[in-house]
Amino acid sequence: MDNLNNTWGLPVIYKTLSIYPVKMKDCDIFYNSINCLLIEKNKSQDIQILKMSYLYFLFYIGMNATDESGYKFSYLIDNLKDILSLVFQEDKIMWKSDNNRIFIVIKNIELNEQDFDNIKKIILSQNLIKYSENILDAELEQKIKEAEEFLAQRNNDNATLEENIFAFAASMNKFPDEIKELTIYQFKKILERKNLLKTWEVYLYPALKGGEQDKIKHWLSHIPEQGMYDHVIMSMDEFNKITSDSGIFNKA
């Protein structure tokens, strides 16, 4: 049987610590801070950075790196503290270093760099954040980037987070403040299922009339979890057909 922790909005226990899924009332803090867990460290050309753990890397660039304007990346450490405070429901987040290693101390529990890698995966999974540490072939990565940009242009009418909240409220006959206690996971999964139900209701009668009901996905059908690039791969045939005609991505 599948673990239903995310379904019920329950925490994951890690070394006696509870890691809580983020609720919709805190989603703005979460989305404004989650970038600290999504940096593609393994794409660096610096062998020393590649050897670093992700936690050490965060502190390394947070304390030492600057952009072209001289702006420091110390905000990443602040973002990390915000994320950890949120998911552990603990304001007192402390760091310590020992022999070139970084440790997090939460409720007197010391977490090492490997622990942090595990916690990072839990946080991303609990809150339906897709992330891949796989290093792609440079040409494939460029094609994926082009496909994502193209699809983003075609789907520029996608609803904002605020609009999704109002859409959820309208479809479920609720006021927005009734949604605050849902987790991000619950909110997204319910909205996804509701969308499938609405689609099924709209197309069922025409399909029945035309004898093509088997082509309509039932609203209780399984919805496979999407991988990092599934949204691009699933649209690649259409993408190639359109772009080959227009030549917009053809190289000179």
- Taking alpha carbons only, the member of 62, 12, 231 closest to residue 130 is 231
Kindly give the residue spans of alpha helices, DSSP state H, lying in the chain.
5-8, 27-33, 47-51, 54-64, 75-88, 113-126, 138-154, 161-171, 184-209, 230-233, 236-246
- Can you give the pLDDT at residue 229? 45
57-115 pLDDT, tens digit each? 999 988 887 777 777 888 999 999 999 999 999 999 999 998 889 999 999 999 999 99
Contacts of 190 (CB under 8 A, 6+ apart): 168, 172, 182
Q: What is the pLDDT of residues 229-251, one digit of tens each?
A: 454 444 455 545 545 554 444 44
Measured distance CA(52)–CA(40) in Å, rounded: 13
Q: What pLDDT is stored for residue 190 in this prediction? A: 93
Q: Is the pLDDT of residue 204 over 80?
A: no
Residue 18's φ and ψ, nearest 5 degrees, are -95, 125
Average pLDDT over residues 132-139: 57
Q: Judge whether residue 147 has pLDDT over 80.
A: no
Contact predicate 108/88, CB 8 Å: no
For 22-33, the pLDDT digits (tens) are 999 999 999 999
pLDDT at residue 251, rounded to an integer:
44
The mean pLDDT value of the chain amounts to 80
pLDDT value of position 232: 46
Domain ranges of the chain: 5-126, 138-246
Q: How big is the CA angle at 126 (ends 124 and 128), to the nearest 5 degrees?
A: 65
Contacts of 15 (CB under 8 A, 6+ apart): 109, 111, 115
pLDDT tier, 155 (very low <50, low <70, confident <90, very high otherwise): low
pTM of the model: 0.77
Beta bridge partners of 19: 12
Residue 140 has pLDDT above 80, yes or no: no
State which amino acid sits at residue 197.
L
- Enter the tokens of residue 48: 């020393």
Q: Helix 138-154 to helix 236-246 angle, to the nearest 10 degrees?
A: 90
Which strand (E) or helix (H) includes residue 128? none
Query: Can you give the pLDDT at residue 44?
Result: 79
